[in-house]
Amino acid sequence: MYIGLLTVCLGNKPLEEKAQWASENGFKSLEVACWPKANDRDYSSSDIDVENFSQKQADEINSYLKKLGLTISSLAYYDNNLDRDLSKRAFVNGHLKKCIDAAEMLGVAMVGTFIGRNIDKSIQDNFDEFETVFGDIVAYAEKKDVKIIIENCPMVGWQVQGLPGTISFAPDLWHEMFRRIPSKNFGLNLDPSHLIFQFMDYISVIPEFKDRIFHVHAKEVKIFNDRLKRYGVFNRQLFTGARHEYGYWKPCMPGLGDADWSLFIKTLRDNGYDGVISIEHEDPEYEGTDEKVKTGLLIAKKHLEKFV
């Protein structure tokens, strides 16, 4: 196993600059953000313009990454592939295919995304739409020898406050995903933090889904039991609108929360995983300036490398 990072947290500076810093600080891979250039999502960036990407650009990127001793673990574009607005859905699906095209040109094995949700329908009914949309996407990726990986974030409140914005956040839903689309090119970008704040077992899912864990995110959460007693499992409902208002949990850097990384990484290793542990930085305590972001990344790396 080896430690990488998702490039989103380093802002909109050039990819080569991000790569230079990662190399100088001992990271081995980048999970490269590929959101559209025109994009207002939080925690997103456009480090590769996949809409206008060429083989020449791919070769240039691979050349300088090789000199820096870095690889690309995956391309990242996490958006709502089942949007109820069919024009928005078509755009997201099309951009995801451009990411797959870019991965093929770069020789990158994986592209990460969300399933998303048509918020007008139940989760159960969304699976029919999922089967059509992702049947096409995964088949497209298979032809390019690229794997599609799904991060298991519930995205609560993405479209409607209090409701999950995706249909892929729990093990029983993963079973349905893989029953509907059994392709071996379709798997998980496993993020333990999303299981922890839902009070799920983030260790037992590893042997259960060992053949579907293609990529791993290193993100952690801190549970505040006093707030849990106040807000309950449906979490905080009233907000003032200030940034970083949290309920009973908040994201934090690995090593500063409630995850047992020693056991998590050992269980991954015991079940045959030998890929990236990619740090996804969403800790509000280490945001706001480049130096804070980099400090957070190095805190996470220092903790994780004890076990990797």
Reduced to 3 states (helix: H, G, I; strand: E, B; else coil), residue 65 is helix
Q: Comparing C-alpha atoms, which of 221, 213, 208, 242 is closest to residue 154?
A: 221
Residue 231 sits at φ, ψ, to 5 deg, of -95, -30
pLDDT computed for residue 113 by the predictor: 98
In the chain, where the domains are located: 2-304
Q: Comparing C-alpha atoms, which of 220, 227, 257 is closest to residue 245?
A: 227
What's the average model confidence in pLDDT over 84-106? 98
Tell me the pLDDT of the chain averaged across its residues. 96
Q: Are strands 220-223 and 249-252 parallel, antiparallel or unpaired?
A: antiparallel
Tell me: the pLDDT tens digits for 108-125? 999 999 999 999 999 999
Tell me: the pLDDT tens digits for 10-53? 998 999 999 999 999 999 999 999 999 888 777 788 999 999 99
Residue 220 sits at φ, ψ, to 5 deg, of -135, 165
Q: Answer positive or negative: Cα dihedral of 89, 95, 96, 97.
A: positive
pLDDT computed for residue 39 by the predictor: 82
pTM for this entry:
0.96
pLDDT computed for residue 245 by the predictor: 82
Tell me: the pLDDT tens digits for 244-253? 788 999 999 9
**The architecture CATH gives domain 2-304:** Alpha-Beta Barrel (3.20)
Q: Are 119 and 159 in contact (CB under 8 A)?
A: yes
Q: Which residues pair with 10 in a beta bridge?
A: none
pLDDT computed for residue 44 by the predictor: 83
